[in-house]
């Protein structure tokens, strides 16, 4: 496990959502590293996505799955103990995974929710894009998506902005993290059509002035085209460690993480993605 060298923010409680699959491993590994660096407590949540009819017709399948879940969570607890990281496990049953996640988050009140990118199977899936998108949509907490095999780092940060209040909240988060870790910061705005280019340029110029005031070097980008493609391309070309977005954003310069855009950005980004839900 790679340790995050510098804590990027005050993070007392981390809620990590997992389904025990290899694809959700990135979230668990990243959470352990983050908790060790920040002195955080981890809450590990696994949602068993069953409906009553299925449970009635296949109780042996449900029982076997529950055994697997508890075994996996005990393994997570053992790994946390090796690192001297406090960890609490929680298991919920729900017909919809995102409902269980949102309800538990309301109880825990985490500083951030950490999720993997994909799930286990069609029956037991937890980390598919639609679940992540709904957690982002319904939960008031910031969400960090960590892909499998990606180290959680904060050395090069890309923030995508459309000028909306939530995208400026993402910008404030990016500034704060950059100041703490001393990394490189890149700001971009996407114009879907040529007529939108001046508005996108104005957005990044405003961000550049704010960065200069705080004495933070900032690279700015203005791209034209489909927002999710432009964001992913920039993240790859700039070798970004973390992509930060607001709740709303870049579709027609008015909305970012809605429907298929959410799934495409999270599914294809070469790095971790943080979605900022809290207005600063």
How does DSSP assign 215-248, residue by residue? T--EEEEEEES-HHHHHHHHHHHTT-SEEEEESS
pLDDT in tens, the chain (280 residues): 455 558 999 999 999 998 777 777 888 999 999 999 999 999 999 998 766 676 667 777 777 878 888 899 999 999 999 999 999 999 988 888 889 999 999 999 999 999 987 644 343 333 345 677 788 888 899 999 998 888 889 999 999 998 888 889 999 999 999 999 988 999 999 999 999 999 999 999 999 999 999 999 999 999 999 888 999 999 999 999 999 988 654 443 334 434 455 567 777 899 999 999 866 5
- DSSP β-ladder status, 143-145 and 272-276: antiparallel
Query: What's the fold here for domain 13-145?
Result: Rossmann fold (3.40.50)
Q: What is the CATH number of domain 156-276?
A: 3.40.50.620
Residue 5 has φ and ψ, to the nearest 5°, of -70, -35
Q: Residues spanned by CATH 3.40.50.620 within the chain?
A: 13-145, 156-276
- Secondary structure element (H or E) that encloses residue 261, with its range: helix 260-268
How does DSSP assign 63-87, residue by residue? HHHHHHHHHHHHHHHHHHHHTT--E
Specify the 3-state DSSP secondary structure of 43.
strand
């Amino acid at each position: 496990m790679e340790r995050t060298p510098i804590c990027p923010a005050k993070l007392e409680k981390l809620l990590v959502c997992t389904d025990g699959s290899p694809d959700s491993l990135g979230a668990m590994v990243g959470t352990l590293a983050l908790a060790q660096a920040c002195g955080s407590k981890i809450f590990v949540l696994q949602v068993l996505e069953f409906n009553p009819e299925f449970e009635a017709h296949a109780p042996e399948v449900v029982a076997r799955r529950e055994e697997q879940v508890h075994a996996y969570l005990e393994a997570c607890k053992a790994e946390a103990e090796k690192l001297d990281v406090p960890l609490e496990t929680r298991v919920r049953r729900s017909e919809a995974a995102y409902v269980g996640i949102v309800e538990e988050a309301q109880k825990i009140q985490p500083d951030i929710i950490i999720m993997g990118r994909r799930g286990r199977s069609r029956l037991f899936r937890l980390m598919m894009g639609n679940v992540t998108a709904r957690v982002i949509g319904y939960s008031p907490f910031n969400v960090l998506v960590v892909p499998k095999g990606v180290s959680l780092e904060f050395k090069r940060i890309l923030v995508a902005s459309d000028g909306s209040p939530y995208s400026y909240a993402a910008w404030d988060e990016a500034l704060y993290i950059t100041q703490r870790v001393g990394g490189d910061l890149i700001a971009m705005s996407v114009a879907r059509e040529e007529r939108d280019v001046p508005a996108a340029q104005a957005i990044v110029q405003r961000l550049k002035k704010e960065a200069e005031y705080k004495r933070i070097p900032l690279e700015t980008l203005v791209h034209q085209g489909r927002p999710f493609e432009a964001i992913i391309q920039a993240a790859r070309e700039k070798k970004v460690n973390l992509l930060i977005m607001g709740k709303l954003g870049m579709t027609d310069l008015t909305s970012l993480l809605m429907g298929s855009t959410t799934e495409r950005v999270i599914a294809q980004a070469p790095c971790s993605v943080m979605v900022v839900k809290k207005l600063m």
